[in-house]
Amino acid sequence: MPRLPRARAAAGRLQDNPVVGRKRVLLAAPRGYCAGVDRAVVAVEKALERYGAPVYVRKQIVHNIHVVTELEEKGAIFVEEVDEVPEGAHVVFSAHGVSPAVVNAASDRGLHAIDATCPLVTKVHREAVRFARDDFEILLIGHDGHEEVEGTAGEAPEHVTVVNSPEEADTVVVKDPNKVVWLSQTTLSVDETMETVNRLRTRFPELHNPPSDDICYATQNRQVAIKKVAAGADLVIVVGSSNSSNSVRLVEVALEYGAKAAYRVDYAEEIQQEWLDGVETIGVTSGASVPEVLVREVLDAIGDAGYRDVEEVKTAEEDLMFSLPKELRQDAAGKRDERALGGRAAGGGA
């Protein structure tokens, strides 16, 4: 997989140039790690502690280059497919989930699989299985090629059609418009997803809804927070990787809801001096797979440029926690691991 080399910049790289008004930062909360990401990352760390290096991981455990690099340094080996994993080795399935075909391929190779799929993604998988069993056609709103979409579609490939955008909702063809249901990738823009649903419903009035909202609580909460921040921001900086769907959506939402400019960065060193020209208020947030340390580095960097007055804009509290995969709930001696998992340690409103 491609890696992004990091060259740390010297302190004070950004200049403290004058602006007309008062320099300040609006820091969105919630931001950063969600419960599913925390669970997946700790699952890899615990697997390394329990079984020793190397532990193999199919795809990126979460879509963040910093997290992946740190886990590699601890002994994780990331692969594209399970056929790259030595027979009998331990392999972790990423937070985005896998199809039954991948599970079967791992079993055929005698791999010891640890499923770190986010439980909210697993919920969507179960919905797909249930609707397919009832012979519904499933319109899966999401992005072709995204691991989560591939995993969900793989649960019922004969019943699933991926709808990539609101525009595709206008052209998708179904066999029986009276027996259609929509599901969605969990990390999409709430607004765009509902636009797609509304267009689908215009064409298929009998379109069924999933039993509960598929877009995850963390994605929604981060979008709500950045909407509030963006309205008062000249510039929004979103910390997150380019393959993180929810991070990319945060940039789009910020621009849609009033930010004059918005950029995504993996690291503070990527912030450009010209972005700050004439800027009084900077909004800062991070995607759901981003550790808080990267946000703090951004705050330090823009602090060097005079943006030291930080106000947290909190729109929700998050206290959801998920247990580790069953293989990792006890240590080698059989003692239960008491660590509760959530996104709270990352900061950002919980």
pLDDT tens sequence across 150-206:
999 999 999 999 999 999 999 999 999 999 999 999 999 889 999 999 999 999 999
Name the phi and psi angles at 296, rounded to 5.
-60, -35
Lowest mean pLDDT among 6-10, 75-79, 105-109, 135-139: 6-10
Give the number of C-alpha atoms closer than 13 A to the C-alpha of residue 322, restricted to the C-beta side: 24
Catalytic residue among 127, 147, 148, 155: 148
Query: Among this protein's residues, is 206 annotated catalytic?
Result: no
Per-residue pLDDT band at 112 (split at 50, 70, 90): very high
Residue 242 assigned as binding residue: no
Q: What is the pLDDT of residue 343?
A: 47
Per-residue pLDDT band at 304 (split at 50, 70, 90): very high
Alpha-carbon distance of 321 to 253, in angstroms, equals: 27
Which residue shows structure tokens 């909190």? 314
Residue 152 assigned as binding residue: no
Alpha-carbon distance of 151 to 98, in angstroms, equals: 4
Residue 344 in this model has a pLDDT that exceeds 60: no
**What's the mean pLDDT in 287-316?**
97
**What's the mean pLDDT in 246-271?**
97
Residue 159 assigned as binding residue: no
| Number of H-type helices and E-type strands within the chain | 10, 12
Q: Are 42 and 36 a contacting pair, CB within 8 Å? A: no
Residue 245 assigned as binding residue: yes
Give percent of the chain above pLDDT 70.
91
Residue 125 in this model has a pLDDT that exceeds 80: yes
Tell me: the pLDDT tens digits for 47-56?
Answer: 999 999 999 9
Alpha-carbon distance of 110 to 198, in angstroms, equals: 46
Q: What is the pLDDT of residue 7?
A: 55
Q: What is the pLDDT of residue 333?
A: 65
Residue 335 in this model has a pLDDT that exceeds 80: no
Q: Are 223 and 253 a contacting pair, CB within 8 Å? A: yes
**What's the mean pLDDT in 304-324?**
95
Residue 246 assigned as binding residue: yes
For 60-94, the DSSP string reads -SSS-HHHHHHHHHHTEEEESSGGGSPTT-EEEE-
Q: What is the pLDDT of residue 349?
A: 41
Alpha-carbon distance of 244 to 260, in angstroms, equals: 22
Bridge partners of 312? 27
Residue 146 assigned as binding residue: yes
Residue 178 assigned as binding residue: no
Q: Are 119 and 322 a contacting pair, CB within 8 Å? A: yes
Residue 5 in this model has a pLDDT that exceeds 80: no
Lowest mean pLDDT among 8-17, 187-196, 271-280: 8-17
**What's the mean pLDDT in 318-341?**
77
Sorted by sequence, the CB contacts under 8 Å of residue 340 that are 6+ apart come out as 321
Q: What is the pLDDT of residue 27?
A: 98
Residue 296 in this model has a pLDDT that exceeds 60: yes
Per-residue pLDDT band at 213 (split at 50, 70, 90): confident
Burial classification of residue 93, based on how many CB atoms lie within 10 Å of its CB (0-12 exposed, 13-18 middle, 19 or more buried): buried
Residue 216 assigned as binding residue: yes
pTM reported for the whole predicted model: 0.91
Residue 11 in this model has a pLDDT that exceeds 70: no
